[in-house]
Amino acid sequence: MKRKNGEFIGSFAPYGYQKDEGCRNRLVIDPVAAGIVRDIFRMKLHGMSQDAIAGRLNETGVLSPMEYKSASGSNYQTGFKTGERALWSSVTVRRILENECYIGNLVQGRQTTPNHKVKKLFVKPEKDWVRIEKNHEPVVSDRDFAIVQRLLGMDTRVSPEQAEVYPLAGMVVCADCGAAMVRKNVCAGKRKYRYYVCSRNKATKECASHRIAAERLEEAVLHLLKVQIGNILDLKRAMEKVSEIPFQELNIRELEKRIEQKEAEALRCKELRNMLYEDMKDGIVSKEDYMELHEAYTQRRDMAEEAVGKMRQEIKDIFASNTDKYRWLDYFAEHRDIDRLTRNVAVELIDRVKVVDKDTVEVVFSFGDCYKEVLEGLKHAGCEVVCDSRGRVRFEWKEAV
Ligand SMILES: [Zn+2]
């Protein structure tokens, strides 16, 4: 029951949070540890591996969650009291990066014991977990969390001498067979050459090599990304000319009408209740009837007022999702001065890179569906969308808007 009410019932708050002094079942942010959690997400977003992040934290003397817990006074049993410090590990870092509690979700009841005699814990299937979304204040944004989950799911093998993964690791595929393109280092004399080749070619020779120099590929992708960012900046300007948002507006108008009706109903109940009092004073209505009717009118008024509150929230939500809906444009616009392809930008803005051959590369950008939807909307609004052979898009108005 407590879990379903969003009450935290664990003995210890997750790292980055503490139990509220006033209400022990509520999680509030622990500013110090939450800062470290944010740093961990930031490092991951910049392409660092879990190992490298753990290393950095240990080097800079940041206490691991276990040490932090004992240092901050709670009588936490660390399990091993050898006097040795528990350090950060890639496992600890990964657990933090995967934990939904940092976007405000409370997930409890993950484990169970078969019965009271057996002490062993079993992990329950995910559908049986008790998950409450937006239960407490988040430490990281939904978007950063989603990107990190994507990163964790991708093949991001790191070369041993490097702390950062390659900007396009896990995103490059063969345009022919769809298999992943793998990075290959070839040494010729003193020089080192880095290529991407089709992994199917490497494994079975069933596909051609589709070989492309890593540097050339990254340059081409950066170029195409710049073109797309330019398109999106122009798109934003074109959208500013069309300020209408027909669907949402219809929804809001409908809600406003219903709010008016409910407000009138609430007011009517109040008036009836007042008249009722007069009637009782004048002896038209008995005391018992007065009590009963008074109660009924009050209930009806409360219900109407509650409905009004709900619809007001709905309108707010529509406005919120409205602004959220086009936020992706800013994800591109933010990088208008980009001069280097970093892991961070690649993961944020690029979905896939398809390699045809060393001269032909196709980039599938993130938010492709949103982009298409906006282009369609602009066409309906009387804007002509012209794309040249270099991928640059122009927006031309048939008539002045
Ligand atoms: Zn292939």
Query: Read out DSSP for 275-305?
Result: HHHHHHHTTSS-HHHHHHHHHHHHHHHHHHH
163 CA distance to ligand 1 middle (Å): 29
The answer to whether the CB of 355 falls within 8 A of the CB of 181 is yes
369 CA distance to ligand 1 middle (Å): 26
Burial (CB count <10 Å: 0-12, 13-18, 19+), residue 398: exposed
Q: Is residue 49 part of a domain?
A: yes
Tell me the mean pLDDT in the region 199-215.
91
Q: Which residue has the higher pLDDT, 332 or 74?
A: 332
Gap between the Cα atoms of 42 and 88, Å rounded: 17
pLDDT of 223 reads 96
Together in a domain, 141 and 267: no
360 CA distance to ligand 1 middle (Å): 14
- At position 290, the amino acid (one-letter code) is Y
The residue behind tokens 């690791």 is: 169
| 135 pLDDT above the threshold of 50 | yes
Instruction: Please give the residue range of the domain that contains residue 300.
Output: 246-334
Q: Is residue 301 part of a domain?
A: yes
Together in a domain, 143 and 256: no
The residue behind tokens 């935290």 is: 8
Q: Give the confidence band of 114 by pLDDT, cuts at 50, 70, 90.
A: low
Q: Is residue 134 part of a domain?
A: yes
Together in a domain, 146 and 257: no
141 CA distance to ligand 1 middle (Å): 37
Gap between the Cα atoms of 233 and 333, Å rounded: 6
214 CA distance to ligand 1 middle (Å): 16
Q: Which residue has the higher pLDDT, 299 or 323?
A: 299
At 43-60, the pLDDT tens digits run 888 778 899 899 999 988
CB neighbours (10 Å) of residue 309?
12
Q: Is residue 190 part of a domain?
A: no
Together in a domain, 252 and 144: no
356 CA distance to ligand 1 middle (Å): 9
| 78 pLDDT above the threshold of 60 | no
| 243 pLDDT above the threshold of 80 | no
Together in a domain, 28 and 132: yes
- Give the torsion sign (CA, 342, 347, 349, 352): positive
- At position 333, the amino acid (one-letter code) is A
- Give the torsion sign (CA, 200, 203, 206, 210): positive
292 CA distance to ligand 1 middle (Å): 79
174 CA distance to ligand 1 middle (Å): 5
pLDDT of 2 reads 74
Gap between the Cα atoms of 169 and 152, Å rounded: 12
pLDDT of 80 reads 46
Q: Give the confidence band of 242 by pLDDT, cuts at 50, 70, 90.
A: low
Q: Structure tokens of 81?
A: 């009291």
89 CA distance to ligand 1 middle (Å): 37
Residue 149's CATH number: 3.90.1750.20
Gap between the Cα atoms of 340 and 355, Å rounded: 20
Q: Which of 334, 354, 384 is the last residue of a domain?
A: 334
Entry pTM: 0.61
Contacts of 287 (CB under 8 A, 6+ apart): 280
Q: Which of 118, 153, 188 is the last residue of a domain?
A: 153
181 CA distance to ligand 1 middle (Å): 8
Total length of the chain: 401
Q: Give the confidence band of 195 by pLDDT, cuts at 50, 70, 90.
A: very high
Cα–Cα distance list, 150 to 44, 127, 140 (Å): 11, 21, 15
% of the chain residues with pLDDT over 70 = 87
401 CA distance to ligand 1 middle (Å): 48
At 221-234, the pLDDT tens digits run 999 999 999 999 99
- Nearest Cα neighbor of 226 from 339, 327, 370, 326 is 339
173 CA distance to ligand 1 middle (Å): 8
Q: Structure tokens of 309?
A: 């509150």
| 247 pLDDT above the threshold of 50 | no
Tell me the mean pLDDT in the region 206-216.
93
Q: Which of 334, 356, 375 is the last residue of a domain?
A: 334
Q: Is residue 182 part of a domain?
A: no
Lowest mean pLDDT among 2-11, 49-58, 88-97, 209-218: 2-11
Q: Is residue 198 part of a domain?
A: no
- Nearest Cα neighbor of 330 from 393, 236, 228 is 236
180 CA distance to ligand 1 middle (Å): 8
Q: Structure tokens of 338?
A: 């980009």
pLDDT of 107 reads 84
Q: Give the confidence band of 353 by pLDDT, cuts at 50, 70, 90.
A: very high
**What average pLDDT does the structure give for the chain?**
84
137 CA distance to ligand 1 middle (Å): 46
350 CA distance to ligand 1 middle (Å): 20
| 93 pLDDT above the threshold of 90 | yes
| 155 pLDDT above the threshold of 70 | no
| 79 pLDDT above the threshold of 50 | no
Q: Give the confidence band of 26 by pLDDT, cuts at 50, 70, 90.
A: confident
Q: Which residues pair with 75 in a beta bridge?
A: none
Q: Is residue 167 part of a domain?
A: no
Q: Which residue has the higher pLDDT, 11 or 34?
A: 34
In total, how many domains does the chain have? 2
209 CA distance to ligand 1 middle (Å): 7
Long-range contacts of 309-314 (CB under 8 A, 24+ apart): 311/255, 311/258, 311/259, 311/262, 312/259, 314/255
Together in a domain, 121 and 253: no
Q: Is residue 250 part of a domain?
A: yes
Together in a domain, 124 and 19: yes
Together in a domain, 252 and 137: no
The answer to whether the CB of 216 falls within 8 A of the CB of 230 is no
Contacts of 51 (CB under 8 A, 6+ apart): 90, 158
| 5 pLDDT above the threshold of 50 | yes
- At position 178, the amino acid (one-letter code) is G
